[in-house]
Amino acid sequence: MGEGCSIALIVFFRDVGADLQETIDSILLATEKFKTSRFELIVVDDGSKIESPYIVPNSRFFQVQHVRHPHSLGISEAINTGVKLSSSTWALPIPGHAMFGNVALENIISLCGKGEIILGCRTNLARSRPPVKRLASRILRDLYRHLTFYYIGDIHGLFLARKTDFERYLQSAKGHGNAIAVITNVVANGGLLVQTAAPVQEGHNSRSSKKVSDNLPSVEAIRTSVSALWEARRTYLRSQSDKIDVKRWG
């Protein structure tokens, strides 16, 4: 599978330097495997203070676009910007700091069309993330499973969804709540979730653009994740209530 899909690869970033080119190179390697699929590349600079130059052969994509926010609006708004520019059926947001290599991307793209959400779980978090962020990711994962769908492996993993679902569910999301908002709503409304492995690139923890502050989750990341978890719980409870009503009156 994966062949014949039309996918917008939305690369979002802020001040990542040479890691942006590494991300683009991984995308080029991954997309080469899917000859009959159509890809567009949308690069969203979320208010970088320092330019991150990159080179991309336009011939690999039916469309290449670059847009820059004058100041940072956050991850969700960066993805929203890319979705609005897209003319594809599917969208795959990709962080521009070289977090995922071509293998992770290939695993996701190969399943395009198998479900409404293709979720790539970060299988090597234990050795690829700073200790505090690793703990935060595990707490978020376990809280999400406890509050909503117990079988979702990594709610902040790499994910592919229909453009229409991003348009429907991402508008109210903030910051790090983007994946939680889209995935929860799609699954709550009966959409099929397919999960695969999306390992973090080895050496990501020592990438060239890494700052000291990257060792800790930001206050804003924690705030938006907690807010998204609360909304996800409400969405989940509504979906379960609707199922009970259908059984009662069906």
Tell me the residue range of the domain where 146 lies.
6-249
Q: What is the DSSP string of 153-195?
A: S-TTSEEEEEHHHHHHHSTT--GGGHHHHHHHHHHHTTPPEEE
For the entire predicted model, the pTM comes to 0.92
Q: Is residue 43 part of a domain?
A: yes
Q: Is residue 194 part of a domain?
A: yes
Angle formed by the axes of helices 219-249 and 131-147, nearest 10°:
20
Instruction: Name residue, tokens 């979906």.
Output: 239
When pLDDT is averaged across residues 220-247 and rounded to a whole number, the result is 84
Q: Is residue 115 part of a domain?
A: yes
Mean pLDDT of the chain: 90
CA 174 to chain CA mean position, Å: 13
Total domains, the chain: 1
Question: What does the block give as tokens for 89?
Answer: 């059926």
How would residue 248 be classed by pLDDT, with cut points 50, 70 and 90? very low
Q: Indicate the pairing of strand 158-162 with strand 90-95.
A: antiparallel
Q: Is residue 172 part of a domain?
A: yes
Q: Is residue 24 part of a domain?
A: yes
Q: Domain holding 85: CATH number?
A: 3.90.550.10
Which one is predicted more confidently, 180 or 136?
180
Does the pLDDT at position 244 exceed 60? no
Q: Is residue 1 part of a domain?
A: no
How would residue 113 be classed by pLDDT, with cut points 50, 70 and 90? very high
How would residue 218 be classed by pLDDT, with cut points 50, 70 and 90? confident
Q: Is residue 66 part of a domain?
A: yes
Q: Is residue 65 part of a domain?
A: yes
- Per residue in 57-88, pLDDT tens? 867 899 999 999 999 999 999 999 999 999 99
Contact (Cβ atoms closer than 8 angstroms) between residue 156 and residue 138? no
Which one is predicted more confidently, 190 or 127?
190
Question: What does the block give as tokens for 57?
Answer: 């052969």
When pLDDT is averaged across residues 50-56 and rounded to a whole number, the result is 91
Measured CA to CA in angstroms, residue 93 lies from 111, 190, 215, 233 at distances of 16, 22, 22, 24
- Reference 160, options 64, 63, 57, 37; nearest CA is 37
